[in-house]
Chain A
């Protein structure tokens, strides 16, 4: 199901270009990761835990040294022009890496002058909107507040690329909703782009324009989200309808005592064969991911 990168239309508008990225670890490997993101759009990076999403982001940010491949951000090389591009990147990571012993204000005093376009007014506005007290020690903040603080930092220097790595894991739907609202507001500016990695795909189901699915260190597909959801169909029906030639048309099948459920990308082939005793639905991103992951041998179909 590997697809040529669909985003590479207009190089000038590419905020992020990744080509053949690879790194070898003792127990894991990232290989041949290729995808791009145009400005004005949101890309969701999905995949099961441990699939390589965080590793990919760390490689982009040069926190991990790549073995091979090319990464360009704003058209510049991510290692040679590291400083220049990081000026325009806002980051929110899964864990808080800010110095918890310091207060929000102190941390800001350290970080803000390092950015060329720091906007103090914007930062204060975010603090107020998020209900953050600048005199509060970062250690004493709840997980949600820590994420909000990271977000405030990430959004207060006119960053053009916002990278979020699992920002909502461990957080309730109310907060996740707030985050989505903030991201939607951000995307009113068509010069920005967001790379959002998560294993909670329902967050992405709405806002993402593109989806890149990573599993076991490889890109399974990178595509427009709408196209992904339209390409696959969830077919449910009675077991007796299945025969081996038909089963091959399914990416994954779940059989129970009361019927089967399967994911297919070839609905036109299957429909006539099954006539009418079936239900056809659009799958969620979750379901697509589960079936694809299980197909590549990580579970039982």
Chain B
């Protein structure tokens, strides 16, 4: 498992860890039942605080990407990949519905919404300084 974090990107470190582990799991680079490093080992390897790694693991566990066995460690949970991806798509659809609703208040049509989307897409890079 390779995790690379940036201290200067502005994105909270625990969030970077969460995202990277999620990506690894969804892409199949980590298999079900595979053991993750302990929060302390991860803290040491990444040279960050143990509270940060703990927070990341807790969030991952909350979202059912991993599970923990007390005394043993944390493991990759069984992923229902298609269900997850479908879930995420549904979430995005909901968000878009909200956007469309707001745009209607300003009488924006599809073309204008698409234009705004393009602009924001080009400018928005979660990896840059905020």
Contact = CB atoms under 8 A, between A and B. Distances in A.
Q: Do A's and B's CB atoms come within 8 Å in the complex? A: yes
B40 interface: yes
B76 to A, nearest CB: 22
Contacts of A190: 40
A40 B43 CA distance: 12
Contacts of A206: 47-49
Given A279-B129, A280-B130, A281-B10, A188 B44 contact: yes
Contacts of B47: 180, 184, 206-207
B12 to A, nearest CB: 7
Q: Chain B's interface: helix, strand, loop or mixed, by majority?
A: helix
Contact of A41 (B14, B51, B130): B51
A86 to B, nearest CB: 26
Interface in B8-58: 10, 12-14, 38, 40-41, 43-44, 47-52, 55
Chain A CB count within 10 A is highest, among B41, B49, B55, B129, for B49
Nearest to B38: A188
Contact of A225 (B12, B44, B49): B49
A42 interface: yes
Q: Chain A's interface: helix, strand, loop or mixed, by majority?
A: mixed
Given A184-B44, A187-B40, A226 B50 contact: no
A40 to B, nearest CB: 7
Contacts of A279: 129
Interface string A175-216: 000001000110110100000000000000011111000000
A222 to B, nearest CB: 14
B83 to A, nearest CB: 32
B120 to A, nearest CB: 14
Nearest to B41: A188
B49 A209 contact: yes
Contacts of B40: 187-188, 190
Contact of A226 (B10, B44, B55): B55
Contacts of B55: 226
Chain B contact patch, size range: 10 to 19
A29 interface: no
Nearest to B54: A209
Nearest to A225: B49
A279 B88 CA distance: 32
A187 B130 contact: no
Contacts of A42: 49-50
A224 B49 CA distance: 10
A188 B43 CA distance: 9
A280 B48 CA distance: 23
A226 B10 CA distance: 13
Nearest to A224: B51
Contacts of B41: 188
B129 A226 contact: no
Chain B CB count within 10 A is highest, among A41, A208, A209, A210, for A209
A208 B44 CA distance: 11
B81 to A, nearest CB: 31
Contacts of B51: 41, 209-210, 224-226
A206 B48 CA distance: 5
A3 to B, nearest CB: 16
A81 interface: no
A176 B115 CA distance: 52
Contacts of A41: 50-51
B54 to A, nearest CB: 9
A140 interface: no
A226 B55 CA distance: 10
A230 interface: yes
A230 to B, nearest CB: 7
Given A210-B51, A226-B14, 4 more contacts: A207-B49, A209-B51, A226-B55, A280-B130
Interface of B: 10, 12-14, 38, 40-41, 43-44, 47-52, 55, 129-130
Interface of A: 40-42, 180, 184-185, 187-188, 190, 206-210, 224-226, 230, 279-282
